[in-house]
Amino acid sequence: MIHNFNAGPSILPGEVFEQASRAILNFNDTGLSILEIGHRTPLFQAVLDEAIATAKELMQLDNDHEVLFLHGGATTQFFQVPMNLLDDNAKAAYLECGVWGSKPIKEASLFGTVEVVASSKDKNYSYIPKHFQIPEDAAYFHYTTNNTIEGTQMHFVPETNVPLVADMSSDILSRSMDFNRFTLIYAGAQKNIGAAGVNMVVVNKHILGKVKRRIPSMMDYRKHIENGSMLNTPPVFAIYVCMLTLRWLKKQGGVAAIDKINHQKASLLYDTIDNIPVFRPTVAKEDRSNMNVVFVMDNPDLEKAFLDLCKKEGMVGVKGHRSVGGFRVSLYNALPLSSVHALTDVMKHFALQHA
């Protein structure tokens, strides 16, 4: 039994792996592989249609919002967002609350003025700034909803009239929220949506077409909307895996149902960390992420012994990111509660041995 706590690419539902594996040999009883069918066939159109419709349904999106599946990762969106939304002489507001939240600031500065409204860089991004002002003349306000590396999560949506843009790569579809509040949402697929190599972008179409610059076709959201995510050959297989994963999530009861389970998983792990003196959480309690749980040891000499024990118990992806150290455990949608029980059992066992 393997427990996969990888930060991304990460665990997907077992039935998704099984269906994807079969489709590579024989897709929908066509005798053809999903890898060799034309993307402009009714066969693939049905896959794309279901992926888009299921995403819209799971997020309860209104008709102003379009769902796109685009080439690239969130890092592509770091520049595609300002290229489409930020004019040379305009200003965008950014919140900097993680390593991944600092990168889009750098990219946006190539296109217009960037105002960083607050940063938690002073404390290694271990908390989420709360009392920041979003300038009313900003073209948009950008933030990262969940910080994969540091293990923090925004548990509120800022109150503002400025259009909201969010990188939701590591917590999209993991918790109930009003997705229609956002003008643009993007997420690399390889955590809660599917396989690496595709981006999901949700955009309120009324924000588009306002900047003066000429945008390359592949970077223009309007062109992708007009062409139904098929401006060119899309990443067929990656979209197929998204469709299967979204279908699985719907079958689990959707976002509200998975939100409840994700809370159980996170509570179990944080309670264990809080109650075992060997381990210590690194982030402010109110900003703890339910997706990525980061913790360290007071005695770092024990780290290797704990990682060895985890490995022996079939646990993958427990080592922390090099910039924080310690441990990071990711609890994405597809990770079963039983894997968290297995981990907390190992932690308790380890604590008894080393207390």
Catalytic residue list:
100, 167, 191
Does residue 227 touch a second copy according to CB under 8 A?
A: no
Among 261, 284, 302, 316, which residue interacts with a second copy (rule: CB under 8 A)?
316
Instruction: For the segment 146-175, give every residue that binds a second copy (CB under 8 A).
Output: none
Query: Which of 95, 198, 329, 343 is close enough to bind a second copy by CB under 8 A?
Result: 198
Near a second copy in 93-122, by CB under 8 A: 103, 106-107, 110
Among 217, 252, 267, 353, binds a second copy (CB under 8 A): 217
How many angstroms separate the CA atoms of 334 and 229, rounded? 26
Does 295 contact a second copy by CB under 8 A? no
Cite the DSSP H helix spans in 34-150.
42-59, 74-85, 99-108
Q: Does 36 bind a second copy (CB under 8 A)?
A: yes
Compute CA distances 159 → 64, 85, 144, whole Å.
20, 20, 15
* Residue with Cβ nearer a second copy (212 or 285): 212
| Residue 39 in contact with a second copy, rule: CB under 8 A | yes
Q: What is the DSSP string of 332-345?
A: -TTS-HHHHHHHHH
Q: Does 43 bind a second copy (CB under 8 A)?
A: no
Does 17 participate in binding a second copy (rule CB under 8 A)?
A: yes
Residue 275 and residue 272: Cα distance in Å, rounded? 5
Distance CA(190)–CA(1), nearest Å, equals 22
Q: Which is nearer to a second copy, 104 or 129 (CB)?
A: 104
Compute CA 148 distance to the chain's CA centroid, rounded to the nearest angstrom. Answer: 8
Q: Is the dihedral of CA 286, 290, 292, 295 positive or negative?
A: positive
CB atoms within 10 A of CB 328: 24
Burial class (CB in 10 A: 0-12, 13-18, 19+), 355: exposed
User: How many of the chain's residues bind a second copy (CB under 8 A)?
Assistant: 60
Q: Give me the helices (H) in 118-235, please.
A: 221-226
Q: Is 179 or 332 the residue whose CB approaches a second copy more closely?
A: 332
Q: Judged by CB under 8 A, does residue 211 bind a second copy?
A: no
Of 158, 228, 254, 317, which lies in the binding site for a second copy, with binding defined by CB under 8 A?
317
- Which among 30-38, 247-255, 275-283, 291-299 is the span making contact with a second copy, rule CB under 8 A? 30-38
Q: Which amino acid is at 150?
A: E
Q: Report the C-alpha gap between 282 and 298 in whole angstroms.
A: 11
Q: Which residues of this protein are in contact with a second copy, per CB under 8 A?
A: 2, 4, 6-12, 17-18, 20-22, 24-25, 31-33, 35-39, 71-76, 78-79, 83, 103, 106-107, 110, 188, 190, 195-198, 214, 216-219, 231-238, 241, 314, 316-317
